[in-house]
Amino acid sequence: MRKILTIIGARPQIIKAAAISRALRRDFSTQLAEDILHTGQHYDDNMSRIFFNELDIPQPHYNLGVGSGTHGSQSARMLEGIEQVLLEGSYSGVLVYGDTNSTLAGALAASKLCIPVFHVEAGLRSFNMAMPEEQNRLVADHLATRLYAPTQTAVTNLSHEGLTERTLLSGDIMLDNTLHYLPQALRNGFLQRNGLTDGQYILATLHRDFNTDNSIRLQAILHAIQEIMHVSGLPVVLPLHPRTANRLKELDLTLPDGVRQMPPVSYLEMLALEHGASLLLTDSGGVQKEAYFLQRPCVILRPETEWQEIVDEGAAILADADPSRILDAYHTLSNRPVCRQPLFGDGQAAQHIINDILKYIQ
Residues that bind ligand UD1 (CB under 6 A): 10-12, 41-44, 47, 68, 99-101, 132-133, 207, 209, 242-243, 246
- Choosing from 38, 42, 119, 207, which is the catalytic residue? 207
The whole-angstrom separation of Cα 282 and Cα 151 is 21
- The amino acid occupying position 16 is K
* Cα distances (angstroms) measured from residue 238 to each of 97, 98, 201, 244, 269: 26, 24, 10, 11, 13
Q: How many CA atoms lie within 13 A of 145 on its CB side?
A: 22
From residue 256 to residue 285, the character string flagging contacts with ligand UDP as x (rule: CB under 6 A) and all else as - is --------xxxx--x-------------xx
Q: In what order do the strands lie in the sheet with 93-97?
A: 62-63, 32-38, 2-8, 93-97, 117-120, 146-149, 167-169
Asked if 43 contacts 76 with a C-beta cutoff of 8 angstroms, the reply is no
From residue 204 to residue 243, the character string flagging contacts with ligand UDP as x (rule: CB under 6 A) and all else as - is -x-x-------------------------------x----
Looking only at residues 13 through 52 of this chain, which bind ligand UDP when binding is defined by CB under 6 A? 15
- Tell me if 122 contacts ligand UDP by CB under 6 A: no
Residue 74 CB, nearest approach to ligand UD1 (Å): 6
Q: What, of ligand UD1, ligand UDP, none, does residue 306 touch, CB below 5 to 8 Å by kind?
A: none
Pick between residue 210 and residue 256 the one whose CB is nearest to ligand UD1.
210
Q: What, of ligand UDP, ligand UD1, none, does residue 205 touch, CB below 5 to 8 Å by kind?
A: ligand UDP
Closest CA to 286 of 340, 220, 207: 207
- Considering just the CA atoms, what is the radius of gyration of the chain in Å? 20
The whole-angstrom separation of Cα 38 and Cα 82 is 10
Residue 355 CB, nearest approach to ligand UD1 (Å): 28
Active site residue 207: yes
Question: Would you please indicate which residues are annotated as catalytic (active-site) residues?
Answer: 207
Chain residues that interact with ligand UDP, rule: CB under 6 A: 11-12, 15, 205, 207, 239, 264-267, 270, 284-287, 290
